[in-house]
């Protein structure tokens, strides 16, 4: 290393660094403070959408959605561009997709930025609380009153994808505000191998477990069960919640915001015991990080007797190119059956699917177009076409239509499941609640925690999140 | 090549030197101030508040509340332990392996260039590619690793879904990617050892081990230490590999500090807490960097 | 045939040399052990890369085959086609992401180079006050955990509207590459004798002219090497990309490739093909700057 001999009395930027640092600190504090000030005005309640659709533009316009990467996203884009263009030739539909694991973060970081590259957010039903509380999406209560035939829906479907505060299971509160409309209905279906366990699906959860056990014993190399166990998204959490519901447990006491003692009551403990000690031993080795795609792969490879998956994600199972079960759709359907979930103490099934929600930060023209799109989408004829295109509609007439029931072998399952649905907590703290549950259920499934310990930890940590609103610092740990 | 007509002699040489220094250095420093220092100061301010990026509302001053919460949280302690095991495990393993490979290569007379280049490939890959691919190879059902173990008569290993194996997998994958780094630097040190030292020792009939211990190691050690510190800093910040390979699982048993900060910052948008958490991590990094630079200076002077 | 011809043509030298190399060390047996060990290590290190390439040209049903198929599978180029062409025809999202990566990595590297090279020269040539501290400060910014930096950067970007823009990524990558560029280039400048510039100045050139005409041309190989490393850092970067961008039009390749898993099906063949396409430019570039690798990977701190 040679040392340059160049001299010259330079005071140099050394001192300047210190000065600049001081200045920056000042600016930082000021700017942060300013930022806060600005936030104050913009938050705490969702802005209202116009009750009637404003005049629409005739200029070319791109209506953007945000969803996660899966086949329904492509189906929606293709369907909307095909059909909506007939009414509005100047509009192009773009469905932006992000990885499922990044879905919540991608939407809410943009909401936090107060600038979104989407006009319609496709929120999970449990995201509504967070979005409404932060004022990220439009209140469309008046718009719905004037433009949507609410009587055409099962009230709970309308409530689940739009209402906040959250509706009680199976009901809709007509006085509550609405923030979204259903886009895609979904629930779990039981996928079973007709050639291995017979044509008749098991009726109760206990029966399902013993059938799976026998099937696994009779067919070496095939595991009895396949279901979601991963610690990301809402994978393991939905699995536990489903078993919890079936065995008569409750996730929380919504009125009193109580989780501790409710989730981990006797029914909750039994559910956890069934999941970890009876169901988990019937799954494939190393399946502890499985989610939608791995479960599908196991079924397509003929490696599972009974599997559980979201209906909207099951279409690929009938594709002979991806399957070893047969070389045509018919051959595959000879082996695969789709049924509603078995019941035990209750017949509850998990509510899946998503609604459409208008971003509060998108341009006025785009918001108007978004409302128009939603009104169009909820029309009886369009809902049937959406069903025929592979979507799952929400209007009762569309659900009962041959267009829907004949479009896929699992669609009857959905129609039968609608009255049985239960959702998770739809509160602003949802993301943290679901992470706590995911990681703990995943830990229990993979032997990192005892089932009892995991359940108690979930209840304790979730309760702490609900109670933490008034703590001085350290929130989020 | 170069113009030969000399232009007029600059009259204000000293002044222009000073001006030049300022003009050449300040744009770079300004960018760093704007993109590194200013954000960190902002984070420092936020770390004393309960600010949330999504909830808005006024940022209440909470003093050291966030810091005490982070430092006393059992959750944080657990992640610290995980990170520590990971850093020590990965860095030790890759140092031993990297040095071995470098030593073996340095004893070859031919094919050194080709060998070195081949060994370096993993280091050049994006952590995303590395993570995804190892996830594929470590799959318990159809992964090639279990398939090979199977043909040796060893049963399926749950690489990514058991507490211990998941952390080991993380260490193995990181070692696979970064052993070449240590190897490269160790090789630089080894090839710089003057031949005459060995020759002198060989005349003295010194044993191989003695030569290694008294000549090779002391000469390579300072360089190796720098490589180790550098890797320790990088490993301490690890995020992307965890995100892709295990997503922190099973449970939270492979969540590193960086991963936990991400969850605090983006799941509940507890920006204030996450900032305090982050600032504490930065302090650790600064200490490690200080160490790194001290050894670097020693090396340069020595 | 070809083998025997080669053997016939070059028999001598290798055989003759052997006794010479054997002279020191524990003899032939030990040498064989060492070579074998090296070979095993090389296979272990390279196997995942080979497996990745193999997976990228396998049909999907062979990809999932148990036990794994090492040879004798049908070769297909379909996955590579899928990387660039969308299923319905037209450009795939991945190819858009690749173009974004080229743009973001290219521009950020240029920016870091344009800002970093003059600064490195000034640090090398002038007695700047508190030079050591400044250089330490500069390097330490490079060591900040990205996950921590991304929080305030996110807040800052949302004030100025840089969230989910290529410019936002370019600026943060430039800032991350700048410390590296300065440290690396300072080393290169130190190697060019200052006397060249002194001589030029005695001839009447100003210092700036002396820098431009005499020093800068000598620095070109160093600048090229430095820029290539900056390019590789930006090209591979994932954390900022995933938190600061979300739309298809802006997303760079690493988050796009990560997004290939976690849908309803995972096409590992496509993941492998995308990875190969993504890694290829880096490997080529790395090969081009192999002489400077040690300096490059230590942020210019260690040089030979």
Put simply, the chain B residues between 231 and 250 with a CB less than 8 A from any chain A CB are: 246-250
Architecture of domain A61-186+352-422: 3-Layer(aba) Sandwich (3.40)
Give the pLDDT mean for A269-283: 98
Asked if the structure places residue B21 within a domain, the reply is: no
Contact status of B99 with chain C (Cβ, < 8 Å): no
For residues A368 and A350, the answer to whether their CB atoms sit within 8 Å is no
Domain ranges of chain A: 61-186+352-422, 187-350+426-470
What is the distance in angstroms between the CA of the first residue and the CA of the last residue of chain B? 39
Out of A32-36, B64-68, C28-32, C230-234, pick the least confident: A32-36
Angstrom distance (rounded) from CA A109 to CA A199: 47
Residues near B241 by Cβ (< 8 Å), separated by ≥ 6?
Answer: B127, B130, B131, B170, B173, B174
A267 confidence band (pLDDT: 50, 70, 90): very high
Residues of chain C found within 8 Å of residue A291, distances taken between Cβ atoms: 262
Judged by DSSP in three states, A176 sits in coil
CATH code of the domain occupying A187-350+426-470: 3.40.190.10
Q: Identify the closest residue of chain A to C127 by CA–CA distance.
A: A7
Is residue A9 predicted with pLDDT exceeding 70?
no
Q: For chain B, what is the largest distance between any 2 Cα atoms, rounded to a whole number of angstroms? A: 83
Judged by DSSP in three states, A383 sits in helix
* pLDDT single digits (tens) B244-253: 999 998 999 9
**Interface mutation vs chain B, best among A105, A233, A289, A297, most B CBs within 10 Å:** A289
Residues of chain C found within 8 Å of residue B10, distances taken between Cβ atoms: 201, 204-207
Q: Identify the closest residue of chain B to A34 by CA–CA distance.
A: B58
How far is the alpha carbon of C65 from chain A, nearest alpha carbon, in Å? 10
Angle among Cα A131, A136, A142 to the nearest 5 degrees reads 95
Q: pLDDT at position C301, please?
A: 63
Residues of chain B found within 8 Å of residue A474, distances taken between Cβ atoms: 65-66, 68-70, 73, 273
Alpha-carbon radius of gyration of chain B: 25
Asked if the structure places residue B257 within a domain, the reply is: yes
Question: What is the CATH classification number for the domain harbouring B73?
Answer: 1.10.3720.10
Residues near B212 by Cβ (< 8 Å), separated by ≥ 6?
Answer: none
Q: Identify the closest residue of chain A to C261 by CA–CA distance.
A: A99
H or E segment to which residue C234 belongs:
helix C216-236
Q: Do A108 and B59 touch (CB under 8 A)?
A: no
Residue B204 structure tokens: 């003295």
Is residue B235 predicted with pLDDT exceeding 90?
yes
Is residue B54 predicted with pLDDT exceeding 90?
no
Q: pLDDT at position A364, please?
A: 95
Is residue A400 predicted with pLDDT exceeding 70?
yes
Q: In this complex, which chains have at least 3 CB pairs below 8 Å with chain B?
A: A, C
Q: Whole domain around residue B290: which residue ranges? A: 65-301
B292 confidence band (pLDDT: 50, 70, 90): confident
Give the pLDDT mean for B139-166: 91
Asked if the structure places residue B223 within a domain, the reply is: yes
Is residue A3 predicted with pLDDT exceeding 80?
no
Residues of chain C found within 8 Å of residue A313, distances taken between Cβ atoms: 264
Same-fold call for A61-186+352-422 versus A187-350+426-470: yes
**Domain count within chain B:** 1
Which letter does DSSP use for residue A149 in this model?
-
How far is the alpha carbon of A176 from chain B, nearest alpha carbon, in Å? 22
- CA dihedral over A393, A396, A400, A403, signed as positive or negative: negative
Decide which of 2.70.98.90, 2.60.210.10, 1.10.3720.10, 3.30.70.100 is the CATH code for C93-297.
1.10.3720.10
Residues of chain B found within 8 Å of residue A136, distances taken between Cβ atoms: 54
Asked if the structure places residue B13 within a domain, the reply is: no
Residues of chain C found within 8 Å of residue B185, distances taken between Cβ atoms: 294, 297-298, 302
- Return the closest-CA partner of residue C149 out of A19, A22, A23, B237: B237
Domain ranges of chain C: 1-48, 93-297
**What's the distance, CA A357 to chain centroid?**
14
Asked if the structure places residue B90 within a domain, the reply is: yes
Contact status of C153 with chain B (Cβ, < 8 Å): yes
Asked if the structure places residue B204 within a domain, the reply is: yes
Interstrand relation of A349-358 and A120-124 (parallel, antiparallel or unpaired): antiparallel
Q: Do A289 and B160 touch (CB under 8 A)?
A: yes
Q: Do A324 and C61 touch (CB under 8 A)?
A: yes
Q: pLDDT at position B56, please?
A: 67
Contact status of C167 with chain B (Cβ, < 8 Å): no
pTM value?
0.89
């Amino acid at each position: 290393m040679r040392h340059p001999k160049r001299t010259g009395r330079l005071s140099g930027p050394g001192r300047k660094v210190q000065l600049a640092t001081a200045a920056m600190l000042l600016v930082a504090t000021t700017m942060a403070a300013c930022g806060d000030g600005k936030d104050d005005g913009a938050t705490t309640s969702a802005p209202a959408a116009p009750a009637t659709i404003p005049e629409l533009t005739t200029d070319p316009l791109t209506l953007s959605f945000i969803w996660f990467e899966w086949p329904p996203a492509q189906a929606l884009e293709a369907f909307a561009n095909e059909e909506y263009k007939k009414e509005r030739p100047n509009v192009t539909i773009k469905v932006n997709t992000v990885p499922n694991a990044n879905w919540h973060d991608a939407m809410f970081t943009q909401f936090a930025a107060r600038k979104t590259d989407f006009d319609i957010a496709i929120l999970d039903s449990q995201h509504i609380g967070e979005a409404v509380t932060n004022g990220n999406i439009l209140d469309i209560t008046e718009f719905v009153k004037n433009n949507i035939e609410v009587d055409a829906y099962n009230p709970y479907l309308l409530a689940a994808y739009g209402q906040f505060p959250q509706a009680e299971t199976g009901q809709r509160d007509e006085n509550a505000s609405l923030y979204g409309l259903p886009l895609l209905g979904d629930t779990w279906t039981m996928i079973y191998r007709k050639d291995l366990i017979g044509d008749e699906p098991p009726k109760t959860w206990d029966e399902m477990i013993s059938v799976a056990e026998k099937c696994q014993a009779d067919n070496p190399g095939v595991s009895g069960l396949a279901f979601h166990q991963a610690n990301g998204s809402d994978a393991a959490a939905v699995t536990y919640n489903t078993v919890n519901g079936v065995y008569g447990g409750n996730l929380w006491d919504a009125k009193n915001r109580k989780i501790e003692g409710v989730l981990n009551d006797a029914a909750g403990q039994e559910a956890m015991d069934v999941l970890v000690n009876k169901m988990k031993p019937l799954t494939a080795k190393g399946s502890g990080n499985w989610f939608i795609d791995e479960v599908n792969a196991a079924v397509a490879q003929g490696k599972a007797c009974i599997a559980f998956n979201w209906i909207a994600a099951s279409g690929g199972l009938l594709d002979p190119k991806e399957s070893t079960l047969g070389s045509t759709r018919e051959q595959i359907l000879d082996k695969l059956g789709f049924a509603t979930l078995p019941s035990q103490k209750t017949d509850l099934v998990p509510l899946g699917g998503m609604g459409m929600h208008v971003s509060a930060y998108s341009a006025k023209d785009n918001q108007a177009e978004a409302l128009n799109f939603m009104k169009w989408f909820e029309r009886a004829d369009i809902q049937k076409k959406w069903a025929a295109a592979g979507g799952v509609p929400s209007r009762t007439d569309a659900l009962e239509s041959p267009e829907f029931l004949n479009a896929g072998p699992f669609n009857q399952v959905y129609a039968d499941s609608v009255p049985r649905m239960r959702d998770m907590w739809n509160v602003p703290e949802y993301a943290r609640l679901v992470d706590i549950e995911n990681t703990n259920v995943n830990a229990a499934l993979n032997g990192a925690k005892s089932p009892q310990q995991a359940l108690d930890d979930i209840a304790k940590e979730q309760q702490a999140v609900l109670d933490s609103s008034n703590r001085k610092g350290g929130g989020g740990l | 090549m170069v113009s030969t007509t000399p232009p007029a002699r600059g009259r204000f040489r000293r002044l222009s030197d000073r001006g030049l220094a300022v003009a050449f250095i300040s744009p770079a420093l300004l960018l760093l101030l704007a993109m590194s220092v200013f954000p960190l100061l902002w984070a420092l301010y936020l770390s004393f508040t309960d600010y949330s990026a999504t909830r808005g509302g006024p940022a209440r001053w909470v003093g050291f509340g966030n810091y005490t919460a982070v430092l006393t949280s059992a959750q944080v302690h657990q992640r610290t332990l995980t990170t520590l095991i990971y850093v020590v495990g990965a860095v030790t393993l890759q140092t031993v392996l990297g040095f071995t490979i470098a030593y073996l290569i340095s004893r070859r007379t031919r094919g050194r260039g080709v060998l070195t280049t081949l060994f370096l490939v993993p280091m050049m890959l994006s952590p995303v590619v590395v993570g995804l691919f190892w996830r594929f190879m470590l799959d318990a059902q159809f992964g090639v690793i279990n398939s090979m173990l199977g043909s040796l008569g060893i049963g399926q290993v749950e690489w990514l879904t058991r507490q211990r194996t998941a952390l080991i997998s993380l260490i193995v994958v990181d070692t696979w990617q970064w052993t070449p780094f240590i190897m490269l630097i160790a090789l630089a040190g080894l090839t710089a050892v003057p031949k005459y030292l060995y020759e002198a020792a060989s005349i003295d009939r010194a044993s191989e081990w003695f030569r290694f211990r008294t000549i090779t190691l002391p000469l390579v050690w300072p360089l190796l230490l720098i490589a180790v510190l550098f890797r320790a800093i990088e490993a301490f910040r690890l995020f992307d590999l965890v995100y892709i390979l295990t997503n922190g699982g099973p449970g939270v048993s492979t969540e590193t500090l960086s991963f936990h900060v991400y969850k605090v910052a983006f799941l509940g948008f507890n920006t204030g807490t996450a900032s305090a958490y982050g600032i504490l991590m930065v302090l650790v990094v600064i200490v490690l960097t200080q160490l790194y630079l001290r050894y670097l200076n020693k090396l340069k002077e020595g | 045939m070809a083998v025997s011809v080669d053997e016939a043509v070059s028999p001598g030298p290798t055989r003759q040399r052997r006794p010479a190399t054997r002279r020191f060390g524990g003899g032939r047996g030990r040498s064989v052990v060492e070579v074998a060990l090296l070979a095993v290590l090389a296979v272990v290190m390279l196997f995942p890369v080979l497996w990745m390439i193999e997976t990228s040209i396998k049909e999907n049903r062979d990809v999932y085959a148990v036990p794994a198929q090492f040879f004798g599978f049908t070769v297909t180029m379909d996955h590579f086609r899928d990387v660039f062409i969308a299923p319905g025809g037209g450009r795939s999202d991945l190819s858009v992401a690749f173009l974004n990566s080229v743009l973001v990595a290219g521009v950020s590297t240029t920016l870091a180079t344009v800002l970093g090279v003059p600064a490195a020269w000034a640090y090398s040539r002038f007695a700047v006050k508190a030079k050591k501290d400044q250089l330490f400060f500069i390097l330490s910014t490079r060591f900040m955990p990205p996950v921590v930096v991304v929080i305030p950067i996110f807040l800052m970007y949302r004030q100025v509207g840089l969230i989910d823009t290529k410019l936002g990524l370019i600026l943060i990558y430039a800032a991350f590459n700048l410390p590296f560029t300065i440290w690396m280039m300072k080393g290169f400048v130190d190697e060019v004798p200052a006397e060249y510039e002194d001589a030029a100045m005695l001839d009447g050139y100003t210092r700036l002219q002396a820098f431009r005409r005499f020093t800068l041309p000598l620095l070109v190989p160093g600048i090229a090497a430095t820029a290539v490393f900056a390019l590789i850092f930006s090209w591979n970067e994932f954390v900022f990309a995933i938190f600061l961008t979300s739309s298809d039009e802006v997303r760079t390749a690493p988050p796009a490739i990560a997004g290939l898993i976690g849908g309803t099906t995972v096409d590992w063949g496509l993941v492998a093909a995308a990875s190969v396409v993504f890694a290829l430019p880096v490997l080529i570039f790395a090969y081009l700057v192999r002489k400077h690798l040690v300096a490059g990977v230590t942020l210019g701190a260690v040089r030979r």
